[in-house]
């Protein structure tokens, strides 16, 4: 039954990242995770179970005949995380959303198509969802119902990404900064000075690595963080206090620290470039800016500033949000289609027993009902009868299958469904 599909979820739409963490199974160990999930499945009478945990959402997708009420939800999440035993049932139930039937399928489609994401259009969640499915499949938690639901989800998400522009136009400041840098056609041999080694510059360094920029020196207040980025890039790490003593040339400077006063003053920049006043690229991703205004005004710099990038990111997000309505329309149509696909699968399952039943009828007829008469037949007549029986068996098995395929073809034609879609493909 379609209404046996259930979702219990905690998302960024209802609560914050810190509270979401309370609803995650608290282990990094895969073997323990598998055993905890199998325990939940057995203890709560779940037919199948899939589990997804990210920093913005926890999702338990399962099949079960029971409607999860407050006491089920409270007990379930107290088993998920025993620390929740200290919390009252109200805290748990006000954070958990319970969704069932075709609404659960709808929710799954919206997650995969990143319509429900904190950053709409980020495909990362689609990858995470497929990984979660694969992982739960290897833990022996998945059966035919979740498999067909996920197969349809993958198809729908791919369709949304292909037929809408929801994932286009970057909304990440760092990615936009890197794109701007690329527009300057800076060669991969260019020398980078990276100032600051926090999350933002660490992400910037990942873009550098991906695009083969390795020639860099990383400066940071604490040397260990500088070293971590330098190690990834195969570059050099130095203390921020040493920046004034840097005497080699550079082409690009990437500055991003949480300092509230400019770090790259006019005096320091003048010292770094010396007499060579050719144009350099300066990227300042800090808020407030870490590169003094004097530097931009008095030196030949191609300046990439966070304020412009933030504005661009905002416009791009507005563009993505504009695509959400198109995605929703497509998803709504596909949920209707899934209802039919689900019924089809149920008939297939029921039909899968037909060949065995026909074989059993044949054996019963030969070995019991007509045994005495058959034993009296000469070998030629017996051979002919066996061949006739086998022929009849094969033809009888075929009749309901052909009738079923014919009925599906008509139904699919009426609903405009792609009959070649593979209900087993979750890749
Ligand atoms: N995260 C984002 O998505 C994002 C996007 C755009 C812009 N920003 C801006 O980027 C800046 C840094 O963000 P983040 O997320 O990378 O921060 P973060 O991970 O907390 O790292 C902060 C960095 O700043 C350094 N730092 C802090 N105070 C300093 C000071 N007084 N003098 C010199 N260095 C100092 C830290 O050095 P130690 O390692 O020695 O502590 C560290 O390298 C902020 O201005 C933020 O507004 C962030």
Q: Cα–Cα–Cα angle for 12, 145, 330, nearest 5°?
A: 55
Indicate the length of the chain as a whole number: 427
The tens digit of pLDDT for each residue in 319-357 reads 999 999 999 999 999 999 999 899 888 888 888 888 888
Tell me if 283 sits within 8 A of 254, measured CB to CB.
yes
Nearest-CA residue for ligand 1 atom 25 is: 257
**pLDDT digits over 11-41, tens only?**
999 999 889 999 999 999 999 999 999 999 9
Least confident of 61-70, 89-98, 340-349, 400-409: 400-409
Q: Is the pLDDT of residue 423 over 60?
A: no
Question: Residue 424's pLDDT is what?
Answer: 52
pLDDT band at 241 (very low <50, low <70, confident <90, very high): very high
Cβ 133 vs Cβ 150: under 8 Å = yes
Reported as a single tens digit per residue, the pLDDT across 48-61 is 999 999 989 999 99
Question: Quick check: 407 pLDDT over 80?
Answer: no
* CA 104/CA 93 separation, integer angstroms: 18
Contact yes or no for 201/224 (Cβ under 8 A)? no
| Number of the ligand 1 atom closest to the C-alpha atom of 260 | 31
Give the position, in ligand 1's atom list, of the atom nearest the Cα of 202.
Answer: 16
Q: What is the mean pLDDT of residues 96-124?
A: 96
- Mean per-residue pLDDT for 62-82? 94
**Span 227-244, average pLDDT:** 97
Question: Quick one: pLDDT at residue 274?
Answer: 92
Architecture of the domain made up of 2-163: 2-Layer Sandwich (3.30)
Structural contact between residues 63 and 145, judged by C-beta atoms closer than 8 angstroms: yes
Q: Pick left, alpha or beta for residue 192 (phi over 0 → left; psi -120 to 50 → alpha; otherwise beta).
A: beta
425 — pLDDT class (breaks 50, 70, 90): low
Per-residue pLDDT reduced to its tens digit, 144-184: 999 999 999 999 999 999 999 999 999 999 999 999 999 99
**What is the model's pLDDT at position 99?**
97
Domain ranges of the chain: 2-163, 173-312, 353-388
Residue nearest atom 27 of ligand 1, based on CA coordinates: 258
CA 17 to ligand 1 centroid distance, Å:
20
Stretch 226-238: mean pLDDT: 97
In 3D space, the residue among 338, 322, 273, 263 whose CA is nearest the CA of residue 301 turns out to be 273
Per-residue confidence (pLDDT) for residue 335, from 0 to 100: 96
Alpha helices in 2-143 (DSSP H): 17-20, 30-43, 70-80, 89-95, 102-112, 124-138
- Which of 200, 207, 307 is the pocket-test mutation for ligand 1 (most atoms within 8 Å of CB)? 200
Q: How far is the CA of 225 from the centre of ligand 1 (A)?
A: 11
pLDDT digits (tens, 9 = 90+) for 350-384: 888 888 888 999 999 999 999 999 999 999 999 99
Same fold, 2-163 and 173-312: no
Class of domain 173-312: alpha beta
- Of the two residues 86 and 257, the one the predictor is more confident about is 257
* Helix or strand (DSSP H, E) at 414: helix 379-415
| Ligand 1 proximal residues by C-beta, below 6 Å | 173, 196-200, 220-222, 225, 240, 256-259, 285-287, 306
Per-residue pLDDT band at 426 (split at 50, 70, 90): low
Which carries the bigger pLDDT value, residue 74 or residue 1? 74
């Amino acid at each position: 039954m379609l209404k046996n599909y259930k979702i219990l979820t905690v998302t960024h739409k209802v609560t914050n990242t810190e509270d979401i963490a309370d609803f995650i199974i608290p282990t990094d160990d895969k073997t323990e995770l598998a055993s905890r999930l199998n325990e939940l499945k057995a203890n709560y009478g779940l037919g199948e179970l899939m589990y997804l945990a990210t920093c913005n959402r926890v999702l338990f997708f399962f099949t079960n005949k029971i409607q999860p009420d407050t006491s089920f939800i409270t007990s379930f999440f107290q088993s998920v995380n025993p620390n929740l035993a200290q919390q009252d049932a109200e805290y748990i139930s006000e954070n958990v959303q319970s969704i069932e039937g075709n609404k659960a399928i709808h929710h799954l489609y919206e997650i995969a198509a990143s319509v429900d994401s904190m950053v709409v259009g980020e495909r990362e969640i689609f990858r995470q969802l497929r990984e979660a499915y694969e992982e739960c499949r290897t833990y022996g938690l998945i059966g035919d119902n979740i498999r067909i639901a996920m197969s349809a989800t993958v198809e729908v998400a791919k369709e949304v990404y292909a037929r809408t522009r929801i994932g286009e136009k970057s909304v990440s400041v760092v990615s936009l900064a890197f794109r701007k840098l690329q527009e300057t056609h800076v060669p991969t041999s260019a020398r980078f000075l990276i100032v600051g080694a926090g999350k933002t510059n660490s992400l910037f360094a990942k873009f550098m690595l991906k695009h083969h920029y390795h020639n860099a020196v990383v400066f940071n207040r604490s040397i260990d963080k500088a070293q971590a980025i330098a190690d990834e890039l195969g570059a050099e790490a130095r203390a921020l206090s040493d920046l004034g003593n840097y005497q080699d040339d550079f082409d690009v400077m990437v500055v991003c620290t949480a300092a509230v006063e400019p770090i790259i003053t006019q005096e320091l920049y003048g010292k770094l470039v010396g007499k060579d006043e050719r144009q350099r690229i300066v990227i300042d991703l800090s808020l407030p800016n870490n590169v003094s205004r004097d530097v931009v005004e008095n030196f030949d710099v191609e300046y990439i500033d966070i304020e412009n990038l933030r504005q661009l990111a905002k416009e791009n997000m507005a563009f993505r949000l504009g695509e959400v309505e198109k995605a929703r329309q497509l998803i709504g149509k596909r949920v209707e289609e899934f209802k039919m696909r689900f019924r089809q699968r149920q008939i297939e399952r029921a039909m899968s027993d037909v060949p065995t039943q026909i074989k059993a009828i044949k054996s019963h007829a030969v070995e019991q009902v007509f045994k005495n008469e058959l034993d009296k037949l000469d070998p030629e007549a017996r051979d002919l009868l066996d061949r006739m029986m086998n022929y009849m068996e094969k033809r009888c098995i075929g009749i309901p299958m052909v009738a079923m395929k014919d009925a599906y073809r008509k139904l699919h034609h009426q609903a405009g469904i792609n009959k070649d879609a593979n209900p087993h493909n979750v890749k």
